[in-house]
Amino acid sequence: MSSTAKGSVTVTLDATGKSAKLPLIGGAIGPDVFDIRKLYGELGVFTFDPGYGGTAACESAITYIDGDEGVLLYRGYPIEQLAEKSDFLEVSYLLLNGELPNAKQLKEFSHGVTMHTMVHEQLRSFFNGFRRDAHPMAILCGVVGALSAFYHDSLDINDPAQREISAFRLLAKVPTIAAWAYKYSIGQPFMYPRNDLSYAENFLYMLNAVPAEDWKPNPILSRAMDRILVLHADHEQNASTSTVRLAGSTGANPFACIAAGIAALWGPAHGGANEAVLKMLAEIGSVENIPAFIEKVKDKNSGVKLMGFGHRVYKNFDPRAKIMQATCHEVLAELGIKDEPLLDLAMALEKIALEDDYFVSRKLYPNVDFYSGIILKAMGIPTHMFTVLFAVARTVGWVSQWKEMIEDPSQRIGRPRQIYTGATSRDIKPIDQRG
C-alpha cells in the first residue's frame, strides 16, 4: 500500500481546549482522507458515520469507482476494455495478482482453476439435507461455509501457498455448488463439471444440461454469461465485500469469510436488484400500462420506484450498463425471442426512460441490473437464481479483497464503535416487583 501524506489539519474541541493534528493522506486517485486513528487517544472522541459512507476502512489497490464520472477500474483498467478484450479468468487473474496474465500465466492459472472444479463427493449428501423448496442462496451459503470441513490443507491464512490454493478452490467450486443448488431445487440430477469447456461454458453446462441429451455451448450465450461475470467481479468496498474483510480480520478461514459475503449479498438491498427489476416489470403488466406507471414514478408521494434505473454510486451513468445493453440485444436476437410480454415491456420501458426529459435530466439511465435481469430471464434462468449468479461472479472479488487484507500489515481486527443510548444505571428488582 502506498498512501501519500498531503499535510494535516488541527482540530480543537472548544469544550475542553484539547487539540489534535489529523494527517491528510491520499491515494493514487480519488478524494483525500483524514487519518483519525489517534483521534480518541488525543481528544477522547470518536467519529459517527452510520453505514460508513464517509469512512475509508482500508487501503486497496484493486478497484476504483468514480460515481460522478461513471468510472469503474479494475487494477487501473477501465471495465469497458476488460469486458470487450478479456475473459473472466483473465480478469480473475488480474484482480488476484495485480496484472493481466501473459499466455503462460493464463494457461497455468486456467489449469489451476479447472483442476479444482469438482467438489468432494461427500458434499453431495449436504444437499439432501435441504428442503426441495430451499432458496439456492441458503444452500450456497451453507455448502460454501462447509468447505472448510473438507479442505484442511489450505486453512493456514499466513501461508501464501495455502492462500493460493484456497483462491483456486473457491473460484472453481462456487459455480459447481451454485449449479447444484439450482439442480436440486428443480429435481434434476447434478451435472459434474467438464474440463473441456471455458469457465462460463462450464457454468451454463452445469445449470442447463441433462444426462439424457447432448449439450453444446452457444457462443453468444457463453459470451453474455462471461460478461456478466466480468462486470460483477468486484465493486470496491460494498456491503458484502466489507463483510468478507470484517470476517477475515478475525483470522477466520477463507471459506467462512466467503460464506459471510454470500450471506450479506443475499439481502434485497444489495444482491437482489436485478430480481427487483423483473418484479417491477411484472407489476406494470403490459406496454399499455407504462405511461401510467411513469406518471406514478414522477409523483413523489406515490411511493412507486423505477427499479434498474440510476444507481446509488453512479450519479452519471453506470459504465457497465452500456456493455450489458449491447449484450442484451445480442442475446435477444440470438434466441429469436419475439412476443415475450415481459421482455417487450422491458425494451419499451428502456426506450421511454432514455427519451423522457424527466429521467434524462436526472440521469436516471438504465443500470447494469436492468439489463442483466433481462438477459438472465431470456436465457431461462429463474429469478431466484439471480443473486446466486451474482455470488458466483463476486467470489473472485471477495477472495482478492480478503487476500489483500491478509497481506496488509496495517490491517487489524474490525471493531466499529458506537454511540450508546441505553440506560446508564439500574438496580435489579425482585421478580414479584417488576412491572
Q: What is the set of active-site residues?
A: 311, 369
Alpha helices in 136-159 (DSSP H): 136-146
| Joined grid coordinates for residue 8 | 494535516
Nearest to 392 by CA among 189, 111, 170: 170
The residues, any chain, with a CB within 8 Å of residue 188's CB and separated by 6 or more, are 210
Q: Which residue has the cell 443510548?
A: 421
Say if residue 239 is exposed, middle or buried (CB neighbours under 10 Å; 0-12, 13-18, 19+): middle
* Span between the terminal Cα atoms of the chain, in Å: 57
DSSP 433: G
Nearest to 231 by CA among 159, 325, 119, 349: 325
Q: Is 20 helix (H, G, I), strand (E, B) or coil?
A: strand
Q: What type of residue is 321?
A: A
The residues, any chain, with a CB within 8 Å of residue 74's CB and separated by 6 or more, are 62, 63, 82, 91, 94, 95, 233, 234
Give ∠ CA 53-58-61 in degrees, rounded to 5. 110
DSSP 183: H
DSSP 148: G
